[in-house]
Every structure is written in structure tokens, then in C-alpha cells.
Amino acid sequence: MIYRKFLTALVLILFVSLSFAQNHIDALRYSRQYYSGTAKSDAMGNSLSALGADLSAITVNPAGIAVFKSSKFTLTPNFIINNSEANYLGNIRNENKYGFTFSNIAYAGVKQSSGLFKTINFGISYNSYNDYRKHTVVSGTNYESSILDYFVYNANSDRYSAFREDLAWRAWLLNYDDANQEYYTFVTDDKTYGESQRNEVATKGGSGEFTFSLGGNIADKLYLGVSLGLTSVNYREESVYSESNFPIIYAPDNNNPGDSIQVNPDRLDYKQTLISEGNGINGKFGFIYQPFKFLRIGGAVHTSSGYKFDDEYITSMYAEYPVADDNGYYDYEPDTANIFVWKLQTPFRANAGIAFILDSYEIGKFYTVPITFTLDYEYTDYSRMTLKPDYYSDYSFDNENYTIRDLFKESHSFRTGIEFNFGSVKLRGGYAVYTSPYKADINLFDGAKSIYSGGIGFAGEHSFIDFSYSYAGSSETLNMYQAANVFPYDPMGDKTEPAAEVNNSKQFIKVTLGLRL
């Protein structure tokens, strides 16, 4: 007992002070952007970078602010429905989560000018990027391994962590063999599996950007714009991994020589909570050129965003046994926590777009409906993400940044939209696809995220209202023990970590209320 207490204290001193919890997964989570703003932009696949004159499109191309002919204000409530379908060992679970937020609040001002610029426009806006709401439940019976295999492998491979293995040690799940000088558990030594496994992960929060933009209109031909973006992130993740219904395992009873005692746990729960808040800054530069009345061509460059994060990471381990210990206890629940301050440099972005604005044309006795067609492309190289320590930390993140360079590649997004203009009524449709940032997804659209959208708008002389619906589908692999998340090159030695295939969908229902001032 004294030896166990001494080792626990030593581990806490060495590992809590030195270990960081951030890795390539955190970098990707906060670097990815799925544009989301007004209902018009959403309905048209967020493909308005060359069209401009939309108070969320200026987040993609700041030159869009220069296209406005009059001042405008917009407000966009957003209702969100998230569904998660997980398949683990043939057991399928469905979970839903609902949310409400404002995806866009913005104002654009127009000032007439008699100089080089026909108008000088400015804008202040907030547009959301990501919604992190999700609820996933995975369950099944595993006859091949236990999370205790992961703990034992880490403990014997110089990967002992105060957030995992030390909790298992303090909960009497993990033991030490003095003779062989190695860690073990009764479950993994006996290799008697068949326990029920359950993993519940709930996330919430989001990210967005306050944008201050300035643009000028030169002769209704060339539109230029710059912007300063102040980004913010709030993210909370709570996961509870559980194992129960262990097969019965007996071992010699040291207190009663010649007798045996049941040593398998009845249940274990490993709980993790991550609370992350960050703020960043970036700049954008863009242009829109209109060589003909029916054609606009645009492009923009986004600098990388420099973030500073404050994380709180809390873990606990609950273990329950069928036989009480010498003090009469049947269960244990150790926990630990730490606060991390770190920085992230996201990759730069470059985008280009084209818009065709077709008026009504007479064909015999009929007239065509005015149509606007848009197409956007964006390039982002996620291998350029970089984790950095805070000023007061000597942790280098060298291993994590090597992993980022090794696992990630450039990603492409293609977004397109169409609008049919019936005067005061406008019908819209759109599609967007974001390709995978992982090198393992060899083909262009492997692991891609697709978004389908549509909507309708009603316009008056001084006000307008737009409605949109969009559906985003994606898939992911949920590693049950998170071994491959933390150690992607060697998760569990010769053991294979079990994983669930998860299909995610998000539905966004938006209403934009707008005023022309």
C-alpha cells in the first residue's frame, strides 16, 4: 500500500506537469471552416464570393462589401438538427441533438464618392463557421479486447499518463508485478473477454468570426475589399466510456492462503471532459472584376489565423468490484485535472469564384426568367497547421507538428448555387463539397463532406425575408479507446483497437430578416 501511494505521488509530479493534451485532432477541429451565414448564401451553397452584396459572402471575399448599392442590415436565426448513426460490432444506435443560434448579424454602409471610387463601403458582421453539437452513443459486446489492454500497453511503453493509466492504478484496475517489472491487469492476463462496452460522446459549442470590412467600387467594373477578422471558438466535449458484465475471474487470495477470490471488476467508467475557449485574428484581401454586365470574376486570400486557447481537461475513473477490499470499499473514483494554454496557427486559404447574371430574354412569345449562377473554389493545405506553446511553456509540440505534416494534405472545396428571380419572389438551390484533409483518403472525394441546400426569398422595397434549408452529411470512425487518436502510429501494439463507423448529418433551417436603409 505504501509503495502504491509513493508511485502515485511520483507519477502526479512527473506527468501532470509535463504532459499536454492537445494534438493533431484539436488542430484540425479548430482549423476547418464550413461557411454559414445568411439564408440566401446557405441556399446557394455559400458560393457568392464573386457575386458579392451579401453580408455573409464578405467573410469569403471581402470585395463583396464594395458591390452594395445601398446600406443593409441582416439578422439570421438558425435552427439545427443533428443526427448520429453509429454501427459497432453490428449494433446500430441513433441519436439526435437540437440547437438554436444566430448564424449572421451584420450591417453594411454605403458612402457615395466623387474620386477614384464610385462608392466606399464598410461593414461590420458576425458569421458562424462551425457548429459542434453532436451526440453519439456506441455499444456492443467485445470478445477480443478491453480498454485495460490499452492502459497496460501504455504503462509498459513509457506512455504512462496521469489522465489515464494513473487513474486505473488508483482505482486498482492496474497492478504492478515486481518480479517481472511490468504492469498488468487480471482481465488482460487472463485474456477472458466478453464484456459489454459503451461509449457516449456529447459535444457542443461553435466557432465564428466578427469581421470589419472596407471596400471600394471603381466604375462598377472593379470591386476591391479588405477585412480584419476576429475569430472565436468555444468547445465542450464530454465522453463516458464504460465496460461492464465482465466474465468472472478468480485469483489466489493473499489474505487466505489456499483460497481464491473474485478479482474481475463489475464495472469501469472512464470519463473525460474538455472545455476549450480560444480567440484569433486574421486578414483577408479580395477583388471582384465585372468585364461584362452578365459576368463577375472574384478571388481572395485569407491569412492564417493565430489562435490562443485556454483548455481545461478533467478525467476520472470509476471502478466497482464484487468483493470489498480490506477497508470495506467496493468502488473507487479517482480523478485529475489540469489547465493548458497553447496556440494554433491555421493554414492560409485562397479562393476563386465566378458568377453569371443573366437577364430576362424574349424567346418568341415568352420571356426567360432572370437567372444567377455561381461557382466557388477554395484551397487549404491542412499540413501547414502548427501547434505552438504559450510564452511561459517549454513544451515544443515537435512530435504533434510532425504528425500533422505526416497525416494531412491539401483540401479543396467546390460550391455552386443558382437563383431564379421572379421579381419579388426568388427560388434558390445549391451544393457544396469539402474534400478530406487526410492523406489516407487517396481519391479526391474519399471522406468528403457534402452539403445540399435550397430556399426561397421574398423582397419588398425596403425589406426582405429569406428562408433556407441545408443538409450536410459526413462519416467518421470512432476509435473506442481513443488510442489511435493519441498514438496514431502505434495505438496498442499487437492488439487492434475496436472502432465504430458513424454517419453524421446536420440540418440547418434559417430565416434571414433584412432591411434596406
CATH code: domain of residue 88 = 2.40.160.60
Closest C-alpha to 302, from 380, 190, 204:
380
- Alpha-carbon distance of 404 to 386, in angstroms, equals 8
pLDDT of res. 16: 42
How many Cα neighbours within 13 Å face the side chain of 121?
A: 32
pLDDT of res. 326: 85
Q: Is residue 182 part of a domain?
A: no
Give tens-digit pLDDT for 469-494.
Answer: 999 999 999 999 999 999 999 999 99
Which backbone phi and psi does 322 adopt, to 5 degrees?
-75, -20
Q: Is residue 315 part of a domain?
A: no
SS3 2: helix
pLDDT of res. 14: 46
- Alpha-carbon distance of 256 to 491, in angstroms, equals 39
Give tens-digit pLDDT for 30-85.
Answer: 999 999 899 999 999 999 999 999 999 999 999 999 999 999 999 999 999 999 99
pLDDT of res. 441: 87
SS3 186: helix
Q: Is residue 173 part of a domain?
A: no
Give tens-digit pLDDT for 359-397.
Answer: 877 666 666 689 999 999 999 999 999 999 988 788 889
Which backbone phi and psi does 58 adopt, to 5 degrees?
-70, -15
pLDDT bin (cut points 50, 70, 90) of residue 8 is very low
Amino acid at position 229, single letter:
G
Give tens-digit pLDDT for 116-151.
Answer: 899 999 999 999 999 999 999 999 999 999 999 999
pLDDT of res. 17: 40
Element (H, E) at 244: strand 222-244
Biggest CA–CA distance in the chain, Å, is: 104
pLDDT of res. 391: 82
Q: Is residue 183 part of a domain?
A: no
What sign does the dihedral 89-92-93-94 (CA atoms) show? positive
What percent of the chain has pLDDT above 70?
95
pLDDT at 21 over 80: no
pLDDT (average), residues 176-193: 94
Give the start-end residues of each E strand in 160-221. Answer: 175-177, 182-184, 195-218
* CB contact set of 46 (below 8 Å; sequence gap of 6+): 35, 36, 37, 56, 57, 60, 376, 415, 417, 430, 432
Give tens-digit pLDDT for 241-271.
Answer: 999 999 999 998 888 888 899 999 999 999 9
Burial of 329 (0-12, 13-18, 19+ CB in 10 A): exposed
What percent of the chain has pLDDT above 90?
85
pLDDT of res. 392: 78
| Average model confidence (pLDDT) across the chain | 93
pLDDT of res. 254: 81
- Of the listed ranges 6-15, 191-200, 222-231, 457-466, the one predicted with least confidence: 6-15
Q: CB 511: neighbour CB atoms within 10 A?
A: 16
pLDDT of res. 9: 43
DSSP-derived pairing of the beta strands 410-421 and 260-262: unpaired
How many Cα neighbours within 13 Å face the side chain of 297?
A: 3
Q: Is residue 180 part of a domain?
A: no
pLDDT of res. 442: 82
Q: Is residue 82 part of a domain?
A: yes
> In which domain, by residue range, is 498 found?
20-145+190-246+272-306+342-516
106-110 LR contacts (CB < 8 Å, sep 24+):
106/37, 106/55, 106/56, 106/73, 106/74, 107/55, 107/71, 107/72, 107/73, 108/55, 108/58, 108/65, 108/68, 108/71, 108/72, 108/73, 109/71, 110/68, 110/69, 110/70, 110/71
pLDDT bin (cut points 50, 70, 90) of residue 443 is confident
- Domain count across the chain: 1
pLDDT (average), residues 449-467: 96
Question: Rounded to the nearest 10 degrees, how much is the dihedral formed by the CA atoms of 414, 235, 348, 378?
Answer: 10
pLDDT of res. 515: 96
Q: Is residue 500 part of a domain?
A: yes
pLDDT (average), residues 440-466: 92
pLDDT of res. 499: 97
- Alpha-carbon distance of 236 to 256, in angstroms, equals 48
pLDDT bin (cut points 50, 70, 90) of residue 446 is confident
Beta carbons of 492 and 462 less than 8 angstroms apart: no
Q: Is residue 238 part of a domain?
A: yes
Q: Which residue has the higher pLDDT, 12 or 82?
A: 82
SS3 381: strand
C-alpha cell of residue 19: 504532459
The three-state DSSP-derived secondary structure of 287-312 is EEEEEECCEEEEEEEECCCEEEEEEE
